[in-house]
């Protein structure tokens, strides 16, 4: 059984991106919440104009995520 790719990972930026919505169109995001995790990185949550979660970006991903999760991402950097 092949495990599906969960998102993307940019090694240079140490950032992982996980889409939640099937398709995100330009201008669809209505709000962005940033949650800093002191000394490690943070989470960026994008919501549409109705308050539904569109995607999650993890900054400092190599520290905040399990290696198995990163292994299931597509490397883009």
Each domain of the chain, given as residue ranges in start order, spans 7-72
pTM given for the model: 0.86
Rounded (5°) CA angle 47-62-57: 10
| Neighbouring-strand partners of residue 58 | 16, 43
Rounded (5°) CA angle 22-27-30: 85
Query: pLDDT tens for residues 12-25?
Result: 999 999 999 877 77
Query: pLDDT tens for residues 43-73?
Result: 999 999 889 999 999 999 999 999 999 999 9
Within 10 angstroms of residue 77's Cβ, the number of other Cβ atoms is 10
CA distance 41 to 36: 6
pLDDT in the model for residue 1? 55
pLDDT band at 2 (very low <50, low <70, confident <90, very high): low
Give 61: exposed, middle or buried? Use CB within 10 Å, 0-12, 13-18, 19+.
buried
């Amino acid at each position: 059984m092949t495990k599906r790719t969960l998102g993307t990972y940019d090694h240079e930026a140490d950032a992982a991106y996980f889409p939640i919505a099937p398709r995100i169109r330009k201008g669809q995001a209505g709000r962005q919440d940033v949650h800093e995790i002191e000394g490690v990185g943070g989470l960026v949550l994008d919501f549409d104009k109705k308050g539904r979660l569109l995607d999650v970006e993890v900054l400092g991903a190599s520290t905040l995520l399990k290696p198995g999760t990163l292994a299931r991402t597509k490397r883009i950097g």
